Structure 1
Amino acid sequence: MVLIYSVVTVALAAFASAANYRRVTCPDGVNTATNEACCVFFALRDDLQTNLFDNQCGEDVHESLRLTFHDGVGFSTTGAFAGNGADGSIILFSDIETNFAANAGTDDGVDALSPFLTRHNVTAGDLIQFAAAVGLSNCPGAPQLQFLAGRPNATIPAGDGAIPQPQDSVDSILSRFADAGFSSNEVIHLLASHTVARSDTLVPGHQAVPFDSTPFTFDTQFFLEVLLKGTGVPFGINNTDGAEVDSPLPNQGEMRLQSDFALARDSRTACEWQSMVDNQALMNQNFFTAMMKLSNVGQDVNSLIDCSELIPSPAALTKKEANFPAGTNASDVQQVCSSTFPTLSADTGAPTTIPECPDGDINLADCPS
């Protein structure tokens, strides 16, 4: 059984890996790195930014970040599920894994990344983690993620049922994550990824965001808005499988996952959730640490090489504090945690209504001309 190393072990291993090498000139004669093994990622980074992300925090960033979860959580400390964690199996065995119900929609991310695997001499596991880290660097407010290189390619697919679904109970979600090696707090920390998320599958024929942010920024607004009472569903379409619950901003195309709603209100996780409502630095540190763990699930970090220097630094946020959307206020908060709720300002004016494109896309920039 491959051990999941502690965060401290991961950090020390990464530091030691970088410290044991002097800077070398890469074969391209232009770039230098702490280890020659990192050199291949310079061309990959430029290719991703130019030909996938367009140096923007958009849908392809969301898709790439989502793959880190759907690849890495395919792991079990008890042996209940097959899979070796963050090993790229969702790409290498895409004909199997993308057909799992919990992986609905991941074929978009797999299809987008697969061509880069043929153009660059990297493994599928490294590609997934590197693409997510590079992509997130385009999102204002995001932390600069760690990237360790050297994951071997997957030899078996992950097992069906290893990935929690939005309609699952909190008990089921926390139990599954615990079996993958994550605490209840770390589950909440990973959900900061929903600040830059969108759904193509939960609202049939439409695209919806889990909170009010277009274009995407990585900020704490998500942790506030999930705590607000719901009033309806976007586009008037209710997902009957239980994955979606009422959103506080349905007219803005905002959808809310049942799992987010429940985790924000469960006594085991409510205070951890609330702690990030108005604390960007805490959210970023929590997410950085949880992602460091997720990206190395099932891997022997002592055999990996720290190439974090290739990850660009994200731009800072212009707005650093969550605020109540227009038409909502503190009375709309459904608070479970007994700690004092932060005092926040509110947007003024009438609530914004986002018109729907003819193709059902709420992002007006994507509307057909």
Structure 2
Amino acid sequence: MISSALISLVLASGVFALATPRSTCADGTTVKNAACCRFIPIRDALINDVFEGVCGENAHSTVRIAFHDAIGFSRAGGKGGGADGSMIAFDDIELNFPANAGIDEIVEDLEPFALANGISFGDVIHFGSSVALSLCPGAPVVQTFVGRANATAPAPDGTVPDPFNPVTQILARMADAGFSSDEVIALLASHSIAAQDEIEPEIQRAPFDSTPGIFDSQVFLEVQLRGTSFPGNGSHEGQVESPMPGEFRLQSDHEFARDSRTACTWQTFALNQALMAQKFAQAMAKLSLLGQNPNQLTDCTEIIPQAAPAPLKVAFIPAGQTHNDIEQACATQLFPSTLSTQAGTTTSVARVPAQ
């Protein structure tokens, strides 16, 4: 006779895990939870109809709205409900906040999509963000939950960090939502597939690095290149421009890359794409659960496609730049002098195509 102690040991070892029953969806996919089956055609419709099969403007914007929607949250209370879709549910309020400028276009795509498919606004944003990332080579699979209820109140203004806020202010706002300085930099890996629209409207869709269709570490190196001061006064005074024509540099990125609290993490990601992707996935999963109880949601991560691998594991020095153009900021580790340099002369970085 097998003792009860031995049975307990076998169960604990996971030997019987292979016998866990799985559900078969209409398309033949098997899943741990049958509730994920209905999200398979939703996933495919997002890829084909909203993102058009590319890591383009709509995919970028969906990752952006996921951050803006979720970060309206405070551990101390008194702010928004976190990752609850309030950005869509209360678009007449939240889209008027200055920090949310330019998000109205993706709201116009995601709101009717959610209504047509019978899912919550929170799910279309945060499930949609994970699906969007799957189209960007190098992006990790982010743990993805569904089953959010619709938001009952808007997030207040001022909860989304502004790129012209001082580093200390941004870190304080993010700490209020539960994120360390390292996690903040990890979330900024999303800028590797991002572009600006409203800061400088005359150059809409100007990307933050030279490879906006790839989730790579290039943004972390290119922001470290010496720039030139923005000519003019007003709200953009002190902004530093990228030395690469056509590329836009956020002032907050420039400061994070040079601040003693964040510079070494910033540099580490420039030199290790896999680590960057791993840390981003962890921080993004945490973001998507702000204000949510995961025990009341369903984990559907297994139906999120794996993105193609990134072409390079380490960032390269763009054509027309040299190692001497890197503005060293981390006090404990130097940028290696062995980084590869792109051949040719400086060329203008193309804008992200409109969708």
Contact 2:225–2:243 (CA<8 Å) still a contact in 1?
no
Match of 1:209 in 2: 207
Match of 1:57 in 2: 55
Aligned pairs (5 A) from 1:43-82: 43-79=41-77, 81-82=78-79
Between the aligned partners of 1:36 and 1:347, the Cα distance in structure 2 is 48
* SS at structure 2 position matched to 1:324: coil
* SS at structure 1 position matched to 2:226: coil
Match of 1:352 in 2: 347
Farther-moved stretch of structure 1 (337-346 vs 299-308): 337-346
RMSD in angstroms over aligned alpha carbons?
A: 2.2
Instruction: Say if 2:336 is the partner of 1:342.
Output: yes
Between the aligned partners of 2:63 and 2:20, the Cα distance in structure 1 is 30
CA shift, 1:199, in A, is 1.0
Amino acid at match of 1:353: S
CA shift, 1:44, in A, is 0.6
Sort the Cα spacing of 1:239 and 1:20 in 2 relative to 1 into closer, same or farther, 3 A: farther
Between the aligned partners of 2:182 and 2:170, the Cα distance in structure 1 is 12
Match of 1:105 in 2: 102
* TM-score, L = length of structure 2: 0.89
Between the aligned partners of 2:114 and 2:242, the Cα distance in structure 1 is 41
Instruction: Say if 2:292 is the partner of 1:293.
Output: no
Amino acid at match of 1:261: H
Match of 2:248 in 1: 255
Between the aligned partners of 2:122 and 2:171, the Cα distance in structure 1 is 25
Contact 1:202–1:243 (CA<8 Å) still a contact in 2?
no
Amino acid at match of 1:202: I
CA shift, 1:173, in A, is 0.1
Between the aligned partners of 1:167 and 1:222, the Cα distance in structure 2 is 18
Match of 1:10 in 2: none
* SS at structure 2 position matched to 1:265: coil
Between the aligned partners of 1:210 and 1:277, the Cα distance in structure 2 is 14
Aligned residues with identical type, % of pairs? 48
Match of 2:21 in 1: 22
Amino acid at match of 1:299: Q
Sort the Cα spacing of 1:29 and 1:262 in 2 relative to 1 into closer, same or farther, 3 A: closer
Sort the Cα spacing of 1:305 and 1:366 in 2 relative to 1 into closer, same or farther, 3 A: closer
* SS at structure 1 position matched to 2:343: coil
Amino acid at match of 2:51: F
2:91 is matched with which residue: 86, 90, 94? 94
Match of 1:129 in 2: 126
Report the count of equivalent residues: 336
CA shift, 1:123, in A, is 1.3
Structure 2 portions without partners, runs of 5+: 1-16
Instruction: Say if 2:45 is the partner of 1:42.
Output: no
Between the aligned partners of 2:121 and 2:18, the Cα distance in structure 1 is 26
CA shift, 1:31, in A, is 3.8
Deviations 1:56-86 (A, max 9, x none): 110001110001100110001123x421100
Amino acid at match of 1:72: A
Between the aligned partners of 2:221 and 2:104, the Cα distance in structure 1 is 31
* TM-score, L = length of structure 1: 0.86
Match of 1:321 in 2: 314
CA shift, 1:218, in A, is 0.5
Between the aligned partners of 1:229 and 1:20, the Cα distance in structure 2 is 57
Between the aligned partners of 1:194 and 1:240, the Cα distance in structure 2 is 25
* SS at structure 1 position matched to 2:305: coil
Contact 1:21–1:35 (CA<8 Å) still a contact in 2?
no
CA shift, 1:108, in A, is 1.2
Sort the Cα spacing of 1:300 and 1:275 in 2 relative to 1 into closer, same or farther, 3 A: same
1:183 is matched with which residue: 149, 169, 180? 180
Deviations 1:69-128 (A, max 9, x none): 00110001123x421100111011111101101111111111111111112122111111
Match of 1:245 in 2: 239
CA shift, 1:33, in A, is 2.1
Deviations 1:27-53 (A, max 9, x none): x46443211211121111111111011
Contact 1:174–1:184 (CA<8 Å) still a contact in 2?
yes
Sort the Cα spacing of 1:21 and 1:307 in 2 relative to 1 into closer, same or farther, 3 A: farther
CA shift, 1:177, in A, is 0.3
Match of 1:219 in 2: 216
Between the aligned partners of 1:354 and 1:322, the Cα distance in structure 2 is 16
Amino acid at match of 1:167: F
CA shift, 1:242, in A, is 2.5
Sort the Cα spacing of 1:158 and 1:354 in 2 relative to 1 into closer, same or farther, 3 A: closer
Between the aligned partners of 1:45 and 1:21, the Cα distance in structure 2 is 25
Between the aligned partners of 2:311 and 2:29, the Cα distance in structure 1 is 32
Contact 2:244–2:347 (CA<8 Å) still a contact in 1?
no
Larger Rg: 1 or 2? Answer: 2
